[in-house]
Amino acid sequence: MPVILYNLCGADEHQHFSPYCWRIKMALAHKELSWEERPTPFTKVREVAGGVSAMVPVVEDDGYTISDSWDIANYLEETYPTRSSLFGGEAGRALSRFVESWVIHP
């Protein structure tokens, strides 16, 4: 079963501009997991997966629903440990947390 990724889109459902959703697309690609995207406009975000989150990305995988790009990355890392690592160990995880917390925000 592919991972389902709810992914922000514009009026054109092929227009994907959320950096948080791109993080997850890159993580899924890095782990070479198959996924299906569910393009989600702003007006539908709160309806995703029964209203689990006010924001996307949201991922459904094997009965689990996970929101927040950091939590999703950690879920993927822990659930698929034999695939290419996203962090390369605890030091890399800590550095990634620092970068994701500070780089995208002014």
Ligand X SMILES: N[C@@H](CCC(=O)N[C@@H](CS)C(=O)NCC(=O)O)C(=O)O
Q: Which residues bind ligand X (CB under 6 A)?
A: 8, 18, 20, 42, 45, 55-57, 68-70
Shorter beta-carbon distance to ligand X: residue 18 or 79: 18
Q: Which is nearer to ligand X, 79 or 82 (CB)?
A: 79
Q: How far is the CB of 35 from ligand X (least distance, A)?
A: 16
Nearest to 77 by CA among 63, 95, 90: 90
Structure tokens at 65: 């629903």
Residue whose CB is less far from ligand X, 20 or 87: 20
Please state, in angstroms and rounded to a whole number, the distance separating the CA atoms of residues 32 and 80. Answer: 10
Which are the contacts of 42, defined by CB distance < 8 A and separation ≥ 6?
A: 8
Residue 58 CB, nearest distance to ligand X (Å)? Answer: 9
Closer of 33 and 55 to ligand X (Cβ): 55
Residue 1 CB, shortest distance to ligand X, in Å, is 22
Cβ of residue 87: shortest distance to ligand X, in angstroms?
16
Q: What is residue 14's three-state secondary structure?
A: coil
CB 45 within 8 Å of CB 54:
yes
